[in-house]
Homo-oligomer: A and B are copies of this chain.
């Protein structure tokens, strides 16, 4: 996408993104006002779609992502590479693209085609970096909603999200109550609590401590990879569970040849796993995007919508809601999903709740296909 300096269009424009098969981009129709102040003169949101919109335009499901995934949730004829939720989205799958028109957006503030801190500010011709305005989960939901409207959809059959995406799904349903028929919030929370804030704040600090971060003004392509690598490892520690790692790695050592190449170097398999995962991540994610999206999660609190968690959640008008949590999740612990369920049921809402015994922690929705497919299939089963 060419980030043009032209004035914002009156009507949203959908553009094919030549850099990535299947990805399209919408240019939102006007200046985008941010919740905490400031605005963006133009916003591009990258998205992919699967299935066909029904003539009544009433079969659309919006997927909102976690912190790092792109809009490529699943493979398609245009892009046969597996997506991040491949087992969940497709013909005959739990989110059945034979029945539903599925849209997945890359979050505002992200770095996989949507406008974010790494984008060029058309007013200056330079990257935003830290001049990007403060980003909230609500802004992510709003940009997604503008994308949905640009596609000619006035009301979603469902908004679905996990992790940050689950927070964004709550924000969407709270801000646009009449535009959401049903809601699926997976491993989400009504607000960030201090343990998760501590982990994320420390990740951000590790990135900022990398001299290559340079106050956010690193040149394009010269990322603070050391800070990102360490922050990703800390993320992985919080995304999985001790129980899973005990079963998977135990006290296994890496092969002798790889062992202790540097003092205090990698010795245990768990260290090797983290190193491999972190190295896969770096280079694929903009550090400033990471900082903005991470902080947005800390700020999220549905109590900002009416003065209390109850008041915030009471704004949701979805006729059915599915909440899913995982027993081994230490980042978005189960009692936070229970809180959403308790509050909404107290208000007489129809809420299904699955507390899954997966051992994969916060990441279980990405990997425990069996349990998550069953729960989501049941929710979307034809009546």
> Which residues of A pack against B, CB within 8 Å?
130, 191-199, 201-202, 204-206, 208-209, 211, 215-216, 226, 230, 233-234, 236-237, 241-242, 245-246, 248-251, 263-264, 266-271, 274, 291, 295, 298, 301, 330, 333
Q: Report whether A208 and B264 are in contact in the complex, using a CB–CB cutoff of 8 Å.
A: yes
Q: Report whether B130 and A263 are in contact in the complex, using a CB–CB cutoff of 8 Å.
A: yes
Please name the residue on chain B nearest to A238 by beta carbon: B237
Q: Report whether A226 and B246 are in contact in the complex, using a CB–CB cutoff of 8 Å.
A: no
With beta carbons under 8 angstroms apart, the residue of B236, B295, B298, B330 that contacts A330 is B330
How far in angstroms is the closest Cβ of chain B from A275? 9
Please name the residue on chain B nearest to A242 by beta carbon: B195
Please name the residue on chain B nearest to A301 by beta carbon: B251
Tell me how many chains of this kind the complex includes: 2
Bound Cα distance A132, B233 (Å): 28
* Extra pairs beyond A193-B245, A206-B206 (11, CB < 8 Å): A192-B251, A193-B250, A194-B248, A194-B250, A194-B268, A197-B251, A197-B270, A198-B270, A208-B264, A234-B234, A264-B295
Q: Report whether A237 and B271 are in contact in the complex, using a CB–CB cutoff of 8 Å.
A: no
Bound Cα distance A373, B269 (Å): 39
Q: Would you give 23 A-B contacts (Cβ < 8 Å), ordered by A?
A: A130-B263, A192-B251, A193-B242, A193-B245, A193-B251, A194-B246, A194-B250, A194-B269, A195-B242, A195-B246, A196-B242, A198-B233, A198-B271, A198-B274, A201-B270, A205-B233, A205-B264, A206-B230, A215-B263, A234-B234, A242-B333, A264-B291, A264-B295
Q: Report whether B330 and A271 are in contact in the complex, using a CB–CB cutoff of 8 Å.
A: no
Bound Cα distance A158, B192 (Å): 45
Please name the residue on chain B nearest to A271 by beta carbon: B201
Bound Cα distance A251, B303 (Å): 11
Q: Report whether B197 and A237 are in contact in the complex, using a CB–CB cutoff of 8 Å.
A: no
Bound Cα distance A263, B217 (Å): 12
Bound Cα distance A245, B269 (Å): 31
Chain B residues in 8 Å Cβ range of A195: 237, 241-242, 245-246, 270
How far in angstroms is the closest Cβ of chain B from A33? 21
Please name the residue on chain B nearest to A252 by beta carbon: B194
Bound Cα distance A237, B194 (Å): 10
Q: Report whether B202 and A233 are in contact in the complex, using a CB–CB cutoff of 8 Å.
A: yes
Chain B residues in 8 Å Cβ range of A130: 263
Bound Cα distance A333, B246 (Å): 12
Please name the residue on chain B nearest to A234 by beta carbon: B202
How far in angstroms is the closest Cβ of chain B from A236? 8
Chain B residues in 8 Å Cβ range of A208: 264
How far in angstroms is the closest Cβ of chain B from A296? 12
Bound Cα distance A267, B192 (Å): 13
Chain B residues in 8 Å Cβ range of A236: 198
With beta carbons under 8 angstroms apart, the residue of B197, B251, B333 that contacts A271 is B197
Chain B residues in 8 Å Cβ range of A301: 251
How far in angstroms is the closest Cβ of chain B from A19? 29
Q: Report whether A216 and B263 are in contact in the complex, using a CB–CB cutoff of 8 Å.
A: yes
With beta carbons under 8 angstroms apart, the residue of B205, B206, B270, B333 that contacts A194 is B270
How far in angstroms is the closest Cβ of chain B from A140? 18
Chain B residues in 8 Å Cβ range of A194: 242, 245-246, 248-251, 268-270
